[in-house]
Structure 1
């Protein structure tokens, strides 16, 4: 089924494209502020279940068709597992030991996985400039997420920090906020890919609502058994922040993001998530007093460059081709041009 032209135009609106990542970045700040007064699994379930119910109520009001076949429910169940339970669970657990801004940057690993999978599974065009932008973004993520001592050692060709089996120690891995954030990014990547299969059997917005409810219920059950004092210490400000994270950072963000993923190029849509840490860092600096090192700011800058290159890769390729025509084609130039032409086919 071909997407409605009006829907495609909506998906190209700058405000519609940017809004989900503004809400996601600012909701990271709201969640980080509330984490000391609540528990991560409760926070994850509170984000998902009420937001899912709101989306499902909207689908009923709009009379959107509900899932009817077992295949639809199976795909929704898989969607709920990877993008509901796993993504939100890893995200909120990771926030305990990671700043809101840095956590948002680490979530930026998601477009790299989506680009590879979308190319392999759906034939989405990435192209030379797209891969270059993703690579720049990946370097930026590494500068933000890896310990600064490791980065400096790598730059000097010193791999001694790998000695001692750090990566093999469960106590280090399970309590690493950075690792949990990267696992959250991987889970979200799989969810972004899954929506292409889900929408073949059920409306994407309907599936989004159901996957939030079904993904949130196991997190709520785990919170009941493993956590305590989930709401005892929450202030009015905390509840306001949780409400914002649930309504804007989850219900609205999820609906808009997976709508975009269902009708647009997955690599381009996913790359826009590089905008999330900019909003997260700005508001975490204002409201939480979080600061970044010089190396992390370089990483943030590279992440921004990466998203600009990915989103504008067609325009850059076109301008590059015009420049090459003026300069004349050397063997290297010819190879680059051929690569770009192949990626557009």
Structure 2
């Protein structure tokens, strides 16, 4: 399998991580009730990291060679491993699955802002429009209709700030929506960090190590704070854990951070909007869940969003090439009259004059 081909342009392989994450959500839907959050986070990280490193060793990828590389991997493990999976696992047991999915999958907005700031990625009007349409789409997919009523009435709040500050902080970190928001921000920062990490170590190797290093504190916290982590797990639950670990973590994260090491972070991260779409579609297929009319609109908006974001560069390039062709014709001096005999060239010249001098008639 040649992954490099996917880097040069859009490829169906780019969708694989989000397909695997969406189907893993379906597989894990009932398992969370039979285990504990930190144990679940550890299972999704440490064994998956070992699998990724085994694949990297098999294909001869180099291990980290410098202390600088290990420092970046450790930071990567803390942010995208421990913090992301820890907040996600705790948030899952404190919030509705749909609302939690919306908050997690809104992280492309944060990635776009960070990528524009740190790497000067051009987003443009079409790109921002696509991001906003995507957030609206996943909101229609995941938010219960009753919540729209609460939002319109101003009745929705993350925490009751009438409490004193200490009680409010405790209540905030016991709030599922807040924890899911922190998880989304952790993933966004992790996605951006992966670009820096890949400058010092192979991106696939870094993914494996960051999952191992991020999974260790999850198992330690589980041993200190949780009981009966696997007592109530049944054979179907273990199968769901295996699928989520192998496909939803090892393969999905390996591919995602491989692609994130180069190319547009905004375009790649925007595909995250597909995760709840896949989750809903396979929930319908395997769990007999049905899409409401509002959710169907959300699916359409999500697909429109991804199209806008991934086509924004092509549209911008076409506009620039159109203007460039016209400038070239204008710069040819004595040949301009000959070129003007061609109706297509007359249009290019006229358009270019308007772009160069908007006041010209």
Coarse TM-score class (shorter-chain normalised): 0.7 to 0.9
Q: 2:67 aligns with which of 51, 65, 70?
A: 70
Contact 1:25/1:104 (8 A) holds in 2: no
Corresponding residue of 1:43: 40
Instruction: Quote how far apart the aligned CAs of 1:183 are.
Output: 1.9
Q: Which runs of 5+ in 2 are unaligned?
A: 324-346
Q: Does 1:10 align with 2:6?
A: yes
Corresponding residue of 2:21: 24
The total of aligned residue pairs comes to 325
Contact 1:106/1:144 (8 A) holds in 2: no
Instruction: Quote how far apart the aligned CAs of 1:136 are.
Output: 1.6
1:100 and 1:49, CA in 2 relative to 1: closer, same or farther beyond 3 A?
Answer: same
Corresponding residue of 1:239: 238
Q: Can you list the C-alpha shifts for 1:111-145, whole angstroms capped at 9, x where unaligned?
A: 10010100100011211100111122233345556
Instruction: Quote how far apart the aligned CAs of 1:172 are.
Output: 5.2
Whole-angstrom distance in 2 between the partners of 1:254 and 1:322: 37
Instruction: Quote how far apart the aligned CAs of 1:170 are.
Output: 4.7
RMSD between superposed Cα atoms in Å: 3.2
Corresponding residue of 1:226: 225
Corresponding residue of 1:165: 160
Corresponding residue of 1:256: 255
Corresponding residue of 1:3: none
Contact 2:102/2:139 (8 A) holds in 1: no
Q: Can you list the C-alpha shifts for 1:45-96, whole angstroms capped at 9, x where unaligned?
A: 0011011011112222222211121211111011001110111112222222
Whole-angstrom distance in 1 between the partners of 2:139 and 2:147: 10
Instruction: Quote how far apart the aligned CAs of 1:176 are.
Output: 3.6
Whole-angstrom distance in 2 between the partners of 1:284 and 1:174: 30
Whole-angstrom distance in 2 between the partners of 1:301 and 1:167: 40
SS of 1:263's partner is coil
1:176 and 1:303, CA in 2 relative to 1: closer, same or farther beyond 3 A?
Answer: farther
Instruction: Quote how far apart the aligned CAs of 1:305 are.
Output: 2.4
Contact 1:82/1:190 (8 A) holds in 2: yes
Who wins on radius of gyration, i.e. which is larger? 2
Q: Can you list the C-alpha shifts for 1:180-219, whole angstroms capped at 9, x where unaligned?
A: 2222211110110001110111111110000000000000
Contact 1:33/1:288 (8 A) holds in 2: no
Whole-angstrom distance in 1 between the partners of 2:243 and 2:64: 29
1:253 and 1:149, CA in 2 relative to 1: closer, same or farther beyond 3 A?
Answer: same
Whole-angstrom distance in 2 between the partners of 1:96 and 1:290: 21
Q: Which runs of 5+ in 1 are unaligned?
A: 1-5, 339-345
1:102 and 1:66, CA in 2 relative to 1: closer, same or farther beyond 3 A?
Answer: same
Instruction: Quote how far apart the aligned CAs of 1:280 are.
Output: 0.7
Instruction: Quote how far apart the aligned CAs of 1:159 are.
Output: 3.6
Q: 1:61 aligns with which of 58, 62, 76?
A: 58
Q: Does 1:89 align with 2:86?
A: yes
Corresponding residue of 2:201: 202
Q: Does 1:306 align with 2:305?
A: yes
With 90-99 and 185-194 compared, the bigger mean Cα shift is at: 90-99
With 213-222 and 64-73 compared, the bigger mean Cα shift is at: 64-73
Whole-angstrom distance in 2 between the partners of 1:21 and 1:250: 11
Whole-angstrom distance in 2 between the partners of 1:226 and 1:163: 25
Q: 2:102 aligns with which of 78, 101, 105?
A: 105
Contact 2:99/2:143 (8 A) holds in 1: no
With 19-28 and 105-114 compared, the bigger mean Cα shift is at: 105-114
Contact 1:95/1:177 (8 A) holds in 2: yes
Q: Can you list the C-alpha shifts for 1:231-277, whole angstroms capped at 9, x where unaligned?
A: 11111111111000000000000110001101211000100111111
Instruction: Quote how far apart the aligned CAs of 1:148 are.
Output: 4.3
Instruction: Quote how far apart the aligned CAs of 1:36 are.
Output: 1.2
Instruction: Quote how far apart the aligned CAs of 1:306 are.
Output: 1.8
| Mapping 1:290-329, distance limit 5 Å | 295=294, 297-317=296-316
